[in-house]
Amino acid sequence: MPKVTFVGSTGPEHTVDATVGDSVMAAAVKNGVPGIIAECGGNCSCATCHVWIREEFAPLVGPPNDMEDDLLDLAVGERRGTSRLACQIRLTEALDGLVVDVPPDQS
Ligand code: FES
């Protein structure tokens, strides 16, 4: 069961037990993590699940897909090199311990 830690800009960290095959967004929403709004329910059309992947996990998580890449330009938080939409990241055992930052404008 992979663990994912969400770090807000002002609040405490939230480490959640996630399910393999779920998205990072689903792991956040199921556990009430603040700042992951996910208005579109994971359909890659709202950008309210924007997160910054910690550098050490970026190679494992990989880059955004084309649709996600376009949508990230519309995200509320600053776009960075490790920006991803949490609904587009599927959790695997290899991602156990993943740490992501939640942009302050979302929380
Ligand atoms: S939940 Fe809407 S884009 Fe991720």
Residue 91 has pLDDT above 60, yes or no: yes
Q: In whole angstroms, what is the distance from residue 54 CA to residue 93 CA?
A: 17
% of the chain with per-residue pLDDT over 70: 99
Mean pLDDT in residue range 39-43: 97
User: For ligand 1, what atom is nearest to the CA of residue 38?
Assistant: 1
Rounded to the nearest angstrom, the gap between the alpha carbon of residue 39 and the centroid of all alpha carbons in its chain is 14
Q: What is the pTM of this model?
A: 0.95
Q: How far is the CA of 27 from the centre of ligand 1 (A)?
A: 13
Q: In whole angstroms, what is the distance from residue 91 CA to residue 4 CA?
A: 9
User: For ligand 1, what atom is nearest to the CA of residue 41?
Assistant: 1
Both tokens assigned to 46: 């709202």
Residue 82 has pLDDT above 80, yes or no: yes
Both tokens assigned to 15: 């480490």
Tell me which amino acid residue 94 is: A
Which residues are within 8 A (CB) of 74 and not within 5 positions of it... i.e. 6 or more apart? 47
pLDDT score of 107: 57
Do the bridges between strand 50-53 and strand 13-17 make them parallel or antiparallel, or are there none, so unpaired? unpaired
| Class of the CATH domain delimited by 3-106 | alpha beta
Residue 104 has pLDDT above 60, yes or no: yes
